[in-house]
Structure 1
Amino acid sequence: MITTKSARLMIHIFLIAFGIIWIYPFIWMVFSSLKTNREFLTSGTTLLPEVPQWENFYRAWETANFSGYFVNTVIFTIATVIIVIVLSALTGYVLGRIDFPGRKVILIIVVAIMFIPKGYTIIPLFKIVSFLGLQDSILGMIVAESSGAHVLFILMFASFFANIPKELEEAAEIDGAGFLTVFWKVMLPLSMPIVATTAIMQFIWTWSSFLIPLVLSISRPEIRTLAVGMQSFVGTYATDFAGMAAGATISLLPVMFIFIIMQRYFIEGIAGAVKN
């Protein structure tokens, strides 16, 4: 007869084994970034390199201009995350707290937008950015990336705000606070778990975004992001696989670092949104 302690031990062993299998591709990529191109192609699933090739990281950082792409990606990601949080929070606040004519119709439209593939919107986005004179610029990429519907975040904020006691809002209004003051000083601070969840998810998506930065940086390679900069390792007749692995490692480490630091807030935000 299997005891409760034995069952838990078996479950833990299974989860550890599954976790190792799950993260093995990433571990393989990190070790592959220290191999030569020949060793990369012939070593199979072997992890450890014969002689660590640290120059792969130098080649990615300097020769492939990942130092410049890294700065571009930081600016692009942080600005997009801030804009998305503000827009999603404001929209969610209105949809969650104010009962106005056509509210349900707008909610249905917002949910329906979720099913539109992002690739289908790239041409209208490009035309709008060009009309604004922002093509071939980081600002244009930020505007295009942050202009989506962000349905998931809007619904999370709307669900959270809808369940906040009305008395808090009324007390602030009695003290003379207006609509935006109530939002900034009362509602938004209370929604910090949702803000953290939105920041983490949008950070990951924007950091690895490829299509919009690719389309809007074709004429100016110097404003590329890290995801688009990976093309630097692909030549006409050969591909620098080891350098690409080093570049991918450089690209992914900040995302992992941010997620590890903020995972507690991410879990709290998801739990709060589901509970509400």
Structure 2
Amino acid sequence: MSTTTRTTTSHAVPAARRRTLRDRFRRIPWWGAVALLALLALLWIYPFLWMVSASVKSSSEVFSSGTSLWPEEFDWENYSRAWDDAGFGRYMLNTVIVTFATVAIVVVRCALCGYVLGRYRFPGSRIIVGILVATLFVPTGYTIIPIVKLSMQLGVLNSLAGMVLALGGAANVAFILIYAGYFRQLPKELEEAAIMDGAGFFRVFWTIMLPLSMPVTATVALLTFLATWNAFFLPLVFSFSSPELRTLSVGMQAFVGENATDWSGMAAAGVISIVPIVVLFLFLQRYFVEGIAGAVKS
């Protein structure tokens, strides 16, 4: 090897080291941001982790262990007590039936309303939108009396069908506006081509518009699922005289007694209630973000 080659190589090594050091220093702010976000995420999910930990602890250990997450002894009997003794198996079935039926009603109803308001211009359309927006300022508690009265007149007060109608019959103005904004941005040529082929209003909606709005539909379905799954006030009213109709959120009261509260059993019931929501969100989070982004863009 010549002297020139050795000199060039000796200069290249320190230069490469300097570039490596510069790259490491440039990454310090990025790693700092990651560490900060990781700390915030830990603080955010700590209550959930504590609930999972408390669900496998004894009632005395829940308070004696303080903020510790690792139990001294795993007590899986809490889940058995919540599922069988407290009746959460039945409550889970009620919640699944009510939630999926409500989601189906809300998605179809809001999609149809949004399709009409987003694609058609007719006299009074702005007035209808204004009335819908005005309902956002009506407190939910004021609507419970007419809902109960209508349910009694229809004979569905103490039934899951009445609970579904009450939860699915809300205004859902935000969902209607999201659908309207999404449908408004779709090209009109899609409808015109379908109409030229002889398709009617409902066929255009079911075969073309609704499949194209899948991101928005996933967003509406997820938000409706969360709201219905965690609903407490209306299910409490509809199951007040029929305990077998309770949902998971109302069934939590089974662990609260006059003189004591079964905190470990309640934590186990809380984990049972939350796991389906977490799993659903993991599958639909991509559609959720796309639906919100599409509605904001429009």
TM-score for both structures, normalised by structure 1: 0.97
Q: 1:41 Cα shift?
A: 2.3
Measured against aligned partners, the alpha-carbon deviations of 1:37-73 in whole angstroms (never above 9, x if no partner) come to 1111222211111111100000000000000000000
Aligned pair 1:66/2:88, yes or no? yes
Give deviations 1:227-252, integer Å, cap 9, x for gaps: 00000001111111110000001000
In structure 2, the partner of 1:109 is 131
Aligned to 1:257: 279
Please tell me the residue identity of whatever aligns with 1:245: A
Distance 1:130 1:3, change over 3 A: farther
Three-state SS of the structure 2 residue aligned to 1:200 is helix
Instruction: State the partner residue of 1:179.
Output: 201
Within-5 A mapping of 1:232-251: 232-251=254-273
Structure 1 regions of 5+ residues with no counterpart?
Answer: none
Query: Could you tell me how far 1:36 is from its partner in structure 2?
Result: 1.1
Distance of 1:152 and 1:235 partners within structure 2: 39
Q: Please give the alpha-carbon distance, in whole angstroms, between the structure 2 residues aligned to 1:16 and 1:118.
A: 37
Determine which of 19, 22, 25 is the counterpart of 2:47.
25
| Paired residue secondary structure (1:145) | helix
Identical-pair percentage: 53
Cα deviation, 1:181-221, whole Å, max 9, x if unaligned, reads 11111110110000001111111111111000000001110
1: CA distance, partners of 2:100 / 2:128: 29
Cα deviation for residue 22 of structure 1 reads: 0.3
SS in 2 for 1:258: helix
Match of 1:92 among 101, 114, 117: 114
Write out aligned runs for 1:32-51 (5 A): 32-51=54-73
Greater shift, 33-42 or 3-12, is seen at 3-12
What's 1:193 paired with?
A: 215
The whole-number CA distance in structure 2 between the counterparts of 1:58 and 1:184 is 44
TM-score for both structures, normalised by structure 2: 0.90
CA distance in 2, matches of 1:44, 1:71: 34
- Rg larger in structure: 2
- The one-letter code sitting in structure 1 at the alignment partner of 2:232 is F
**1: distance between equivalents of 2:297 and 2:203?**
27
Give ranges in structure 2 of 5+ residues lacking alignment. 1-21
Give yes or no for the alignment of 1:118 onto 2:140: yes
- Residue in 1 aligned with 2:78? 56
Q: Which residue of 2 aligns with 1:142?
A: 164
Counterpart code for 1:52:
F
Task: Show the counterpart of 1:128.
Answer: 150
State the secondary structure of the residue aligned to 2:137.
coil
1:114 deviates by 1.5
Question: 1:267 and 2:286 equivalent?
Answer: no
Q: Deviation per CA, 1:119-161, whole angstroms, max 9, x where unpaired?
A: 2211111111111100110000000000101111101000000
Displacement of 1:3: 5.9
**Which of 163, 169, 185 is the equivalent residue of 2:185?**
163
2:83 maps to a residue whose letter is W
1:115 Cα deviation after fit: 2.1
User: What is the count of residue pairs matched by the alignment?
Assistant: 276
Deviates more, 1:106-115 or 1:143-152: 106-115
